[in-house]
Structure 1
Amino acid sequence: MTHPTAAITAYWDAAARDFDEEPDHGLRAPETRAAWSDLMSRCLPSTPSDVLDVGCGTGSLAELVAGAGHRVTGVDLAPRMVGAARAKLTAAGLPGRFLVGDAAAPPTGQETFDVLLSRHLVWTLPDPAAALDAWVSRLRPGGVLLLIEGHWREAGQGDEPYVAGAESLPWHRGIRADELADAVRPLVRDLRIHPLGADTALWGGPVSDERYALVARV
């Protein structure tokens, strides 16, 4: 029997080849790229900061973050995603460190960061509450937790089913903003929710599910 972690790794490794075809993944359209760049600039510190991007995928947000002058470390379970992220920043002439590892428990030792960034990840986690605890513990005092999430109508890549047993994941169809806020609030201060679903530029077109950014400080 395939170990669940191995199945998840294989799924995202296979997804890496076409991952950037989605408008909000590859950020290839100028309008989409500009919208995400603006969102990052509004949510991240204005001074150069150490940013941990967990579940970094192919590195599109990491590229924007590094391009804004921040020092970025990306973590992803799928080696092909990490390889794509490294290649993307190298091609852009930007610095960045990328590690293969579990985004729920990033392999960064005792390092702490000014920002922890996660986008569309929590639905894949077997224990999201433990991951939130781990992420907050990686932040320096006054650090920023930035979670870009949603409550999905579907989970997985396009019409392809996710790994076997995904229906048992606690947040396998995403999580509503109020529910995620309730889970995060005991760990942080100054928590804010920014609705994003109506900003079609972010997604490359209209979306019908709930999408938002949760921004908090520790």
Structure 2
Amino acid sequence: MGDSTSITAYWDAAAAEFDEEPDHGLRAEPVRAAWRVALRGWLPAGPVDVLDLGCGTGSLSLLLAADGHRVTGVDLAPRMVERARAKLAAAGLPGGFLVGDAMAPPTGAQRFDVLLSRHLAWTLPDPQAALREWVSRLRPGGRLVLVEGRWREAGQRGVPYVPGAEALPWHGGIGAAELAAAVRPLVSGLRVEPLGDEPRLWGGPVADERYALVAER
């Protein structure tokens, strides 16, 4: 599919309006509160070290930092990272943000208690390799939290994604059963929590499949 330059350009262009989506910007208190409750249910008692991959503009990182967690965010798009840094700085909260590829997060030898990824796996050219890499970034007993689903091709206000996106292995998203089958050999246990019937998370009702997969290393 498209090279990293075109992918970066796409998400950089999306950054300015990214937070206008209710579940991206979390600007409405009911949506923000729903994500706060969800994250608390998926993460262990803190504070813990969290790697937020595909962090976008940092809305989930902000909630995690507000709960006292030590957050490192990674995103391929520099403009997304700029907004994430500004968001946490404006709130007076600590957080480290890096520009980099989620397939190989630029965090060196650091290991994390939690790796969080939301709506990212469908964009990856080799999601199976990414899953193996992500689990390796966890400390023993660490937790992998994947918020995923199966939906139409992502786009911002009708702008198409990069050329060749239809060739991605998980183009259009991935169902819970398929993702669980991919993750299960890498972890000691997992559970799937359906999220499609939680309209407060999305700013309104949704008709497609959405869920959280929570796994233990």
Give the TM-score normalised by structure 1.
0.98
**C-alpha separation between the residues in 2 aligned to 1:189 and 1:35?**
28
SS, match of residue 183 in structure 1: helix
Paired AA for residue 163 in structure 1: V
SS, match of residue 17 in structure 1: helix
- Matching residue of 2:102: 103
- Matching residue of 2:50: 51
- Matching residue of 1:4: 3
Paired AA for residue 21 in structure 2: E
Matched-pair contact (CA < 8 Å) for 2:195–2:210: yes
**C-alpha separation between the residues in 1 aligned to 2:154 and 2:83?**
23
Encode CA deviations 1:89-109: one digit per residue, 9 max, x unaligned. 000110000000001110001
**C-alpha separation between the residues in 1 aligned to 2:3 and 2:193?**
33
- Matching residue of 1:191: 190
SS, match of residue 75 in structure 1: strand
SS, match of residue 155 in structure 1: coil
**C-alpha separation between the residues in 1 aligned to 2:36 and 2:167?**
35
Paired AA for residue 105 in structure 2: P
Question: How far apart are 1:157 and its partner, in Å?
Answer: 2.7
**C-alpha separation between the residues in 2 aligned to 1:3 and 1:150?**
22
Question: How far apart are 1:158 and its partner, in Å?
Answer: 3.7
Question: How far apart are 1:190 and its partner, in Å?
Answer: 1.9
Paired AA for residue 208 in structure 1: A
Count of aligned positions: 217
Question: How far apart are 1:88 and its partner, in Å?
Answer: 0.2
Paired AA for residue 151 in structure 2: W
Matched-pair contact (CA < 8 Å) for 1:113–1:140: yes
Question: How far apart are 1:155 and its partner, in Å?
Answer: 2.6
SS, match of residue 38 in structure 1: helix
Give the TM-score normalised by structure 2.
0.98
- Percent identity of the aligned residues? 71
Paired AA for residue 127 in structure 2: P
Higher RCO, Cα 8 Å, sep 6+: 2
Moved over 3 A (4+): none
Question: How far apart are 1:3 and its partner, in Å?
Answer: 6.3
